[in-house]
Structure 1
């Protein structure tokens, strides 16, 4: 059982959004096209995600972030489970997510939560982001796409 609640919000915490996607223009592109959900304990925001209906029967988690002080406490896992339940209740059949090739921890988390790799958008970050991104000593060049079926 968790000691926090997950609620929709019309005012997503931008500092958290920028933890997961550091390019303001990218966040601006999707922030108002999806629904943001926040994990809160009292007045404290622990994490958030944005769920975007992308095409028939499909939604994508386009931003998932947990405040640094609360990472590795199961919050991201709870947010992903919430996204899957929310999408399933809306009649959707597939949930997608993407992350950079250098996001080794994110890839492991997503696969533990039931996502499977389905493709790579080559040089995505070089094409759409103004500055090179490095994580874990690796240049973040490609968007790794993952999905899960929602039974």
Structure 2
């Protein structure tokens, strides 16, 4: 496994980034401001993530997406653990914003995140179409935090 920082042609990763955030203009808001990381295994792209420095020792995981055939094989976990290790020397807190979904919240909790706060109606106010996960429409953004 190898994790690379992507400095050029970030938009070429959009097909995978759109799995983590379904709306391209939302990704455009943070892609150039953030650090894009790509995890490869056997020379094959498996997972991508975008992390931003929010200031004051706080980093935010804005997007985490694993290629569907590579899901549930530890690639997302490996990426989050890598990000936490890198941020640990530079900050005190790592945030992850996600929909209130039974698929994502437990994943982050297993990695040591705990709910921090919520942004009411985030998905209905900021997306041009309804977002569904696990058969349920997402409305609020749940922020989870990991103390570094």
Bin for the TM-score computed over the shorter chain: over 0.9
Deviations 1:40-88 (A, max 9, x none): 1243100011110012100000000000010000011100000101111
**Aligned counterpart, 1:47:** 47
**Aligned counterpart, 2:33:** 33
What is the 5 A alignment of 1:62-77?
Answer: 62-77=62-77
Structure 2: gaps (5+ residues)? none
Instruction: Describe the SS at the equivalent of 2:109.
Output: helix
**Aligned counterpart, 2:110:** 112
Kindly report the root-mean-square deviation, in angstroms, between the aligned alpha carbons of the 2 structures.
1.0
Structure 1: gaps (5+ residues)? none
Using structure 1 for the length normalisation, give the TM-score: 0.92
What is the 5 A alignment of 1:136-147?
Answer: 136-147=134-145
- How many equivalent residue pairs? 145
Q: Which portions of structure 1, spanning 4 or more consecutive aligned residues, are displaced by more than 2 angstroms? A: none
Instruction: Describe the SS at the equivalent of 2:17.
Output: helix
Using structure 2 for the length normalisation, give the TM-score: 0.94
Instruction: Describe the SS at the equivalent of 1:92.
Output: coil
**Aligned counterpart, 2:120:** 122
